[in-house]
Amino acid sequence: MKWRYFRVRSKQILWNEDNRVKLRNFNYLPRWLVIAIDLAIVIFSFFLSFLVVSNLNVSFYDVLTRPQECVFISLVYFASFFIFSTYAGLIRHSTFVDIFKIAISCGASALFLSIISYSYYGIFEKKIFLFPFLLINSVLTFAGMLMLRLTVKSLYSFIMNMGRKRHRVLILGVNDDSIAVGEALSIADHKNFVLVGFVSFNKRYKKLKILGVPIFKFDNLFFGSILPLKVNGLILVGNQLDTSEKNNIVDKALEQNLRIYHAPSITQWENDADVTSNIKEIQIEDLLERHPIKLDDTQINSYLNDKTILVTGGAGSIGSEIVRQVSRYKPKQLLILDQAESPLHTLELELRQQFPEVSYEFILADVRKKNRLEKVFEAYEVSVVFHAAAYKHVPLIERNPTEAIQVNIIGTVTLADLSAQYGIDRFVMVSTDKAVNPTNVMGATKRAAEMYVQALMQERQSNTKFITTRFGNVLGSNGSVIPHFKEQIKNGGPVTVTHENIIRYFMTIPEACQLVLQAGTMGQGGEVFVFDMGKPVKIMDLAKKMIKLSGLIPGEDIEISVIGLRPGEKLYEELLSDQSTTLPTHHEKIMRAKDDTMFLEDVMNLIIEIAAAAEQSDDLGMIGKLKVLVPEFKSENSVYELLDLPSCSDE
């Protein structure tokens, strides 16, 4: 029975169900086995050394017999293995340090044996060991132990990469970061990449090599010169290139059907990840022309540190990032309010792990319910409110306008009134570029919310500073175009674009939230701050580049389908209305838009009428009143276009 168990168990360990050897299960050799093999090498080296020295016409001393010498020498080497921990590292990850340990161990053993031999000679006038024998034995032992490690390392690498598809790549740059990544590639266990060479931007190196591979100059002849090498891709390391240079290289590389990868500076690598996990295909977000944002941490810290902060819509894309960034300023307490249960729970698990020192309160609530919100203001001494709760998807809101009225307008009114009533210091509202000359219900509701907080500030019935921040599309937010395109490409297409000429401004979620925090420090109340969104991006070009970055050809591997503008969608987004004046601020990426404000009573009366129509599910009446409140709201590609006709306006 025992033999049968051993046979079955051995088969489970060594073989897969398809009868292929599972050599990849041998991730490391046990330490006892390493020591046993090293001792076997010592014994083998002893007898080999004996044979070598015997041919030198010398006589061995007769203090010890040959077996006794072998045992004595083996014990000394065995002790040195423990002293210098030659067995401690994983053989497959052996480095120069491990080789150095082996050399020191063998040298120290030979030295100790020599000292014993000469000490014995000093007492009894006889030597135990021949010095040439000890020297040759030490060298052979070192060579044997080194060969063991090199053999295991090479065998492991061969087995792990057997059948693995490997990409032949060039690394851009010849600086320390690029060379460090090249070294990491050369010693990696999982060789997904084969380093073919480096690329210099400034100088031509003729015969010089780094890590045994040549250096190419990036010029007009570059792609022709690397053609014989069958290069599959380029690796960009760190941030040594600005966005325009990076785009130039990527565009040219994509024309040659090369894959583009990005590796962070090696000091930023995740320690528990292998080389392959740190080198990833470059993302479209990395190629959008964005410049780093400089924040005034001192000002931000002064109004967030040791304060109670409320973030509505805190489990959403923007709200959750605001929460993460606020957490770094060590608030007294951070209240995270959202009506979405599962995302709120997921965020709680993340934050309690990442920021265990911050006091959080996760509040499941709806901004439309005044009684629920009032309990929150009563229970906590809120100092700052970041209002990010909103419905934002244009086509969906166009079909369900009542919900947008109740959340985007009534929810904001309720929250703003309570903020003024309880005398909080700052109310920072997150708005959108779609509020400028809106062509859809979503944009119009956000503009109505802006108008209310501006009017409330103008009345100055409290000390609360009401500040509005307005920006465009954010990369990677829920339902945004880039994740949508990625999913379509993953599924084989087609990639759907609403119009060939449609353009959009883009900003990353962290960028947008950083500017929200900064704008919160700058406002004195009533301002609408507009963020520098950089250059607008043509969505058709975005789709084509994303397909190419996936290693596919637009129009051949992945089709691009133009499906027409969606309800309420317009070709060009705006950040400022025609009537606005733009004033600079002390932050280069934040401008101040000065819109005309209405009296609070007039705004409130129209909002009451809009809310009443919403309660009756009277969509046309509700949107009609919304167009009175926001006269620049002209519907496009929508059922509400009829309300813009002169006959309807006269009514």
Q: Which amino acid is at 350?
A: E
Question: For 54, what's the count of Cα atoms within 13 Å in the CB-facing half-sphere?
Answer: 7
Which pLDDT tens digit goes with each residue over 442-466?
999 999 999 999 999 888 777 899 9
Q: What is the mean pLDDT of residues 238-266?
A: 79
Which pLDDT tens digit goes with each residue over 309-355?
999 999 998 999 999 999 999 999 999 999 999 999 999 999 999 99
Q: Which amino acid is at 312?
A: T
Q: Which residue has the higher pLDDT, 5 or 382?
A: 382
pLDDT at 483: 78
Q: 424 to each of 126, 302, 327, 382, how far by Cα in Å?
A: 94, 15, 19, 6
Q: What is the mean pLDDT of residues 230-234?
A: 84
Which pLDDT tens digit goes with each residue over 12-50?
433 444 444 344 444 455 777 777 888 888 888 888 888
pTM above 0.85, yes or no: no
Which pLDDT tens digit goes with each residue over 275-286?
556 777 777 766
Q: Is the pLDDT of residue 365 over 80?
A: yes
Is 462:423 a contact under the CB 8 Å cutoff?
Answer: yes
Is 319:362 a contact under the CB 8 Å cutoff?
Answer: no
Is 507:472 a contact under the CB 8 Å cutoff?
Answer: yes
pLDDT at 87: 67
- What φ, ψ does residue 587 adopt, rounded to 5°? -105, 125
Count CB neighbours of 584 within 10 A.
9
Give the whole-angstrom CA distance, residue 459 versus residue 427.
15
CA dihedral 597, 600, 603, 605 (to 10 degrees): -160
DSSP-derived letter for residue 287 is: G
Which pLDDT tens digit goes with each residue over 594-648?
777 888 999 999 999 999 999 888 999 999 999 999 999 999 888 898 888 775 5
Give the whole-angstrom CA distance, residue 343 versus residue 605.
36
b/e code 226-258 from CB counts within 10 Å (16+ = b): beeeebbbbbbbbeebebeebbebbeebbeeeb
Q: What is the mean pLDDT of residues 429-435?
A: 89
Give the whole-angstrom CA distance, residue 414 versus residue 318.
21
Establish whether 434 is a catalytic residue. yes
Which one is catalytic: 127, 246, 392, 434? 434
Pairing of strands 259-263, 233-237: parallel
Is 180:240 a contact under the CB 8 Å cutoff?
Answer: no
199: helix, strand or coil:
strand
Residue 71 tokens, joined: 């045992």
pLDDT at 403: 93
Give the whole-angstrom CA distance, residue 482 versus residue 485.
5
Q: Is the pLDDT of residue 144 over 90?
A: no
Pairing of strands 280-281, 259-263: antiparallel
| Residue 104 confidence class, pLDDT cut points 50, 70, 90 | confident
Q: Is the pLDDT of residue 651 over 70?
A: no
Count CB neighbours of 576 within 10 A.
18
Give the whole-angstrom CA distance, residue 373 versus residue 108.
75
| Mean pLDDT, the chain, integer | 81
Identify the CA nearest to 116 among candidates 71, 73, 53, 68: 73
Give the whole-angstrom CA distance, residue 533 versus residue 541.
18
Identify the CA nearest to 373 among candidates 328, 421, 301: 421
pLDDT at 412: 96
Q: 459 to each of 412, 447, 453, how far by Cα in Å?
A: 17, 19, 10
Q: Which domains does the chain have, with CATH numbers?
A: 4-160 (no CATH), 167-282 (3.40.50.720), 297-474+507-535+574-629 (3.40.50.720)
| Residue 274 confidence class, pLDDT cut points 50, 70, 90 | low
Q: Is the pLDDT of residue 294 over 70?
A: no
pLDDT at 3: 42
Question: In which element (H, E) is residue 608 found?
Answer: helix 600-615
pLDDT at 339: 94
